[in-house]
Amino acid sequence: MSVLGAADLVCAVQYLRMSSDDQHYSIENQRNAIADYAQQHGYRVVASYTDAGKSGLSLKGRHGLRQLLTDALAARRTFDAILVLDVSRWGRFQNPDQAAHYEFLCRQAGLRVIYCAEPFGDDLAPVTTIAKHLKRVMAGEYSRELSERVARAHRQQAELGFRQGAKLIYGFRRLLVDSACNPKRLLERGQKKALDTDRVMVIPGPPDELAVIRRIFGLYVRDRLTIVEIAERLAREGINGHGDKALSRATIRNILSNELCVGRVTYNRTIRRLQTPAIKNPEALWTRFAAFDPIVPVGQFRKAQTRLAHCWDKEKVRTSLRELLAREGYLSHKLLKQTKAAPSWETVVKHFGSLQAAYAAAGYTAPPVSCFGNGGKQWSREDVLKGLRKLYAGKGYISTKLINGYDGLPSDAFIRDRFGSVPKAMRQAGLPLLSRSEIQKNGWQRKRAAGSDEFYQGVRWTDAKLLRALRRLEQQYGYISVNLLDQNGKTPTTYYYVRRFGSLTRARALAKLPRRSHAEIMRAACKRKKNGTIIRRRNIGLQAHNKKPLPA
């Protein structure tokens, strides 16, 4: 027991931290050790600041230490000392000066920082300062070595085919197995294994989710839909992912790029050590393991990767504009439309908000836009916005064709030069914006309402005739495929069927044709390929001018 009275005790607070990988430094053990030190050295603990299960690598997530530093630097405080078990509880910062900086702030504010389990306590002698710095370096080095050991163990487990990590993309599940790889149970999202001897393997999920994955690849590779259009179509059909939420664009992109879709477990694609930003590893350092049969054909997966690699991001758009500027000496909306290697003006506006902002990012100052439009007429911003509202009120929609044919507006090129894009002008006019798929769908509906949708190359095709032609084609060839529809010369193309019925699958169902599984379709295609009767895709331009019937 201390011989000092309660009035003679120094008021102190204690800081407690426990990381998830260092359980012997439990909060309760730290509290007891600090209590013994305080009793022996005349301190009275008046408050506790705790960070349970927090890494000491940085201040991220350490609300206890943040609050302690805030209270220590406050004008009024109720304590004069900070008690910490040892240097590593204060932090395992990779830069030892960071830990010294936080301690310096407290000492500059008149507080004593005392490490109860260290031999130097709160001594400030030069030798003690050197010893404390070495302790900080050792604490940081411990975390670095531990990170290397854990990363090496994870790579070894990945090479054996075991899953590292808790999250999976849509369509797959985590199976918990014992040390002999005997199945135990499926893990739900967020659940972790309880025993160190257990392992986790990846298996394909329910058949309906795998069918959605195959459909996503088909829409992206075969139908050339964008990720946004795929997400919108699946959302309209009520297809949801985890948590009964609609499949987002990011989820669909992850599905298209994840090698699990071809049965490979891939690990070490990125490296992230000690809370630093993630860095992409070269493909030679990836760890791959063939875990199960492919969900989608390997060739289709490779085509998806090729298309994904050509997607424009903000930096690629800026680089392309700079190259175009260096080659042509200027940038314009017309130049972007004429240059095949450059991004479209829609892509530029999507990433930068307007053409002018993109030009500025590429280092080009566009000449001022004249206020005179078609026929030398002067158009103010208010006139254009008013004209857009009037056109929308009369037609119910806005299109380039409508704008160019309307006397109350300048050309669409003038609007783009003035506002950056037509959608941006519509937004400023307070008009609703539709997605590309919605615009296309509305256009089809208008054509059908006008009766022009029923005509294809001068021939009137009703729904009944289309379905009858589909049945005859199935009876003649024994199957229906995209290439067969496009090249048989007797029916409209697949695009026309999709436009009329929504999808080829729905058209088959309405025609009462037998439903075939994906495996049956693939086996039949392989058989035709082996017999030399497979129909390969032809150039669409040649197909439009030279469409000859296929042999029976």
Q: Give the per-residue pLDDT at 215.
A: 92
499 Cα distance to chain centroid: 30
Distance set, CA 148 to CA 78, 89, 142, 271, 472 (Å): 43, 21, 10, 11, 66
Helices (H) and strands (E) in the chain, counts: 24, 13
Mean pLDDT across the chain: 81
- pTM here is 0.47
What lies within 8 Å, CB to CB, of 456 at 6+ separation is: 492, 496
368 burial type by CB count under 10 A (0-12 exposed, 13-18 middle, 19+ buried)? exposed
> What letters, b where the CB count within 10 A reaches 16 and e where it falls short, cover 28-50?
eebeebbeebbeebebbbeebbb
Lowest mean pLDDT among 93-107, 226-240, 455-469: 455-469
Query: Band of the pLDDT at 26, cuts 50, 70, 90?
Result: confident
User: What sign does the dihedral 205-209-214-219 (CA atoms) show?
Assistant: negative
Six-digit token pair at 229? 């259009």
Nearest CA to 471 among 503, 509, 498, 520?
Answer: 509
Residue scoring higher pLDDT (27 or 369)? 27
What are the backbone angles phi and psi of residue 11, rounded to the nearest 5°?
Answer: -70, 130
Q: Are 195 and 308 in contact (CB under 8 A)?
A: no
Place of tokens 């800081």: 15
Nearest CA to 344 among 335, 334, 336?
Answer: 336
Distance set, CA 446 to CA 432, 440, 442, 500 (Å): 18, 10, 6, 12
Whether 122 shows a pLDDT value over 90: the answer reads no
Whether 548 shows a pLDDT value over 60: the answer reads no
Q: Are 294 and 262 in contact (CB under 8 A)?
A: yes
CATH code reported for the domain at 6-144: 3.40.50.1390
Whether 376 shows a pLDDT value over 90: the answer reads no
CA dihedral 351, 355, 361, 367 (to 10 degrees): 180
Please compute the mean of the pLDDT values over residues 303-321 and round it to a whole number. Answer: 83
Q: Give the per-residue pLDDT at 451.
A: 66
Please compute the mean of the pLDDT values over residues 310-317 and round it to a whole number. Answer: 80
Six-digit token pair at 333? 């909306």
Place of tokens 């989820």: 251
Q: Can you name the CATH fold of 172-297?
A: Hect, E3 ligase catalytic domain fold (3.90.1750)
Whether 303 shows a pLDDT value over 60: the answer reads yes
Domain ranges in the chain? 6-144, 172-297, 314-361, 374-433, 454-545
51 burial type by CB count under 10 A (0-12 exposed, 13-18 middle, 19+ buried)? buried
Q: Are both 6-144 and 172-297 of the same fold?
A: no
Quote the CA–CA distance of 57 and 40 in Å, as a whole number.
Answer: 31
